[in-house]
Structure 1
Amino acid sequence: MNPQISRPVFVLGCPRSGTTLLQQMLHSHRRIAFPSETRFVHTAYEARHRFGDLERAANRRALAEWITRGGDTKFRVLELDAEEVIEEIVHGPPTLGSALAIVFRAYARRHGKPRWGDKRPSYFRRVRMLRRMFPDAQFVHLVRDGRDAVSSLMRMPWFDGDIYAAALTWREAVDTGKRLGPRLGPGTFYELRYEDLVADPEHELRRLCIFLDEEYDPEMTKAYRHARRTVPSARRWHLRTHEEPNSRHVGAWRDRLRGPEADLVEHVLASRLLDHGYALSGAARPSAAELARFHRIAAHRWRSRHAHAVLDRLVQSREPNPVVSLLRGPVSVPDRLDES
């Protein structure tokens, strides 16, 4: 373990793949601070032109005000003093990545930890953005059986898609992971399965800590204690984080997906399920109409992603400042660590 390691850590994966559980486990490590979803990293990046030249202190203040008080962010979940963070950003390096890093470093400092991370399932679509701002970051991709992820996603009150959108989201996530592995290399990208994590948490977390260049911390397997204090009971879809890790819901898709839905999901995800070690159930082939609709939606989503990538390159060419974080080194923390 290198005590000077300070690389940011980003957790990503298809929604309903256990990323909140993993976030809680990582936050329980004595050296890593991992907040609940903040939702201001990607929105700040998309809004970066709004703040103009960050060499100007007034523009850095406008950015800091937006991060800490904007309606599109969840800064409040960090429980930080907004005024202190604003002043630190104003007096910090003039780049977007630096401003965001200042917020996360303040959170890590509050918890007495030298390293920080962030979790958002949709980060699998935004790795290029994250690497632009944090080129030394490490990425952890959590994969869950696509049938379980899809069946769980369909039950969420905040998910407004259909079975086709849910299946495509899982497919996009695992396809992205397959590309990122060789592109980023074993020191930057790590993939693990949800089923393995809940079946043998200590084994999987030890392996993850080797990737992170950290000593294993046994408190990681007791993350449910932290979750009971920080994950509200109103978020019913995250209540399993209040329990010790278990495999009780592995394979729940068999009860949750109706026959035609199960057939469709298994068929269109079959090769990828096998690639990740998931056995097929021998589902029937969906109708030609069902498959045609799935592929039409897939083509539309591909065109939309391609158009967004082209637009982002255009926007990038007009940036007034670099976006890369200029902050380096571990967070300065007091001798006595806060175990909260």
Structure 2
Amino acid sequence: MRLPPHILVVNGIKVRRPVFLLGAPHSGAGLLARALKRSPGFHVTMGRACVAHVVYAFARKPSIGRTSGAVRVLRDALAESWQVLPRSCGQCAEPCREAGGVTGTGPCVSTSEITRFGDGSPDLIYSAPVLLQAFPDARFVQLIRDGRDVAADMLADPECLAWFRPALLPAEFPNTFLGVNKDEHLDRWKGMPTAGKCALRWRGAVRLSAELRRTLPEEQLLTLRYEDLVLKPAESVATLTEFLETRVSKVALYAARAPEVGAWRTRLRPADLELVEKVAREELTRLGYLKS
């Protein structure tokens, strides 16, 4: 006999059709989370420590995500993150507090207003299979961005670069988090310039996105391009509104200082650009960012 699905209850509210934002680093998940966070009825968290610890544990050691307890651990972490308490916003990362317009101790939302939950934590894409098991009715929105712009932003982000330190190397290989497909490639990865490592991270995340596109039904997964989000915000929000069946704020997109599209042309050194395009050529071409 099939057991009924587990229904999570947070602050007396049943979590139904939660929304998770996925993508490679600096692909626009934070920008989209800002829009959802300011939309009526949504309670969206970004980068809470309780979620980040679980997400990075799964990313560094993928076998954990295949254990019987993985679903419960991730569900409990999200339940803690979504709890609305008098000082809960004080535990949030600064991007989440800023997106919610928090100026005091919080909270940023009233429980009486919440109808949908969501999370836009960095690197959530590596937990997508576990999220689907934890929330079978979840909606996923994945962001795709030009890998050259992603590499340029990663090279300027100390938090992203920190994952390339030897002390923080994943516990298991092959490892999608670093984009290392085979154990024997690890030594080659260690000697690769940082721009190449950034390209590998983008390539690995994009391949995960493609796998999700093949396995999830259309009603559960929407793919948006960062370029459209920035250059055509009204159209992107209309698409998202239809997909989520709820109104999404576009004001946050217009007000945000989003990284410029195509900034790689002035931000990447010629040698770094050449390496990024070499490492990620197949995916850049398939997605239309490079001509074949």
Alignment of 1:87-236 (within 5 A): 109-110=110-111, 112-158=113-159, 159-160=161-162, 161=164, 162-214=194-246, 216-217=247-248, 220-223=249-252
1:27 aligns with 37
Find the aligned partners of 1:78 and 1:164 in 2 and give their Cα distance: 39
Find the aligned partners of 2:200 and 2:271 in 1 and give their Cα distance: 16
Find the aligned partners of 1:157 and 1:15 in 2 and give their Cα distance: 12
Find the aligned partners of 1:40 and 1:175 in 2 and give their Cα distance: 27
SS of the residue corresponding to residue 254 of structure 1 reads helix
1:37 aligns with 2:72: no
SS of the residue corresponding to residue 121 of structure 1 reads coil
Residue 35 (structure 1) shift: 2.2
1:272 aligns with 2:283: yes
1:6 aligns with 16
Residue 82 (structure 1) shift: 7.2
Residue 198 (structure 1) shift: 0.7
Find the aligned partners of 1:111 and 1:28 in 2 and give their Cα distance: 15
Question: Contact 2:17/2:138 (CA < 8 Å) preserved in 1?
Answer: yes
Find the aligned partners of 2:250 and 2:239 in 1 and give their Cα distance: 13
Question: Contact 1:142/1:191 (CA < 8 Å) preserved in 2?
Answer: yes
Find the aligned partners of 2:24 and 2:231 in 1 and give their Cα distance: 20
Question: Contact 1:108/1:116 (CA < 8 Å) preserved in 2?
Answer: no
Identity value in percent: 32
Residue 168 (structure 1) shift: 0.9
Find the aligned partners of 2:256 and 2:245 in 1 and give their Cα distance: 28
Find the aligned partners of 1:263 and 1:198 in 2 and give their Cα distance: 26
CA deviations 1:22-60 (Å, max 9, x no partner) are 100111221222123213236358699xxxx9xxxxxx9
Q: What's the TM-score once normalised by structure 1's chain length?
A: 0.55
| Cα distance change, pair 44–151 in 1 and its aligned pair in 2 (3 A) | closer
1:329 aligns with none
Find the aligned partners of 1:114 and 1:79 in 2 and give their Cα distance: 13
Unaligned runs of 5+ in 2: 1-13, 59-63, 89-106, 165-193
SS of the residue corresponding to residue 135 of structure 1 reads coil
Aligned AA (2:196): Y
SS of the residue corresponding to residue 126 of structure 1 reads helix
Find the aligned partners of 1:255 and 1:279 in 2 and give their Cα distance: 17
| Cα distance change, pair 111–261 in 1 and its aligned pair in 2 (3 A) | farther
Aligned AA (1:269): A
1:298 aligns with none
Find the aligned partners of 1:18 and 1:122 in 2 and give their Cα distance: 11
Find the aligned partners of 2:250 and 2:145 in 1 and give their Cα distance: 19
Question: Contact 2:47/2:122 (CA < 8 Å) preserved in 1?
Answer: no
Aligned length: 214
Q: What's the TM-score once normalised by structure 2's chain length?
A: 0.64
Question: Contact 2:16/2:138 (CA < 8 Å) preserved in 1?
Answer: no
Find the aligned partners of 1:277 and 1:110 in 2 and give their Cα distance: 43
Which segment is superposed worse, 252-261 or 34-43? 34-43
Find the aligned partners of 2:140 and 2:23 in 1 and give their Cα distance: 10
Aligned AA (2:44): F
CA deviations 1:213-267 (Å, max 9, x no partner) are 22x34xx221169xxxxxxxxxxxxxxx743x6xx71111111111111011112
Residue 145 (structure 1) shift: 0.4
From 262, 267, 283, the counterpart of 2:273: 262
**Higher RCO (C-alpha 8 Å, min separation 6):** 1
Question: Contact 2:42/2:117 (CA < 8 Å) preserved in 1?
Answer: yes
Aligned AA (2:23): G
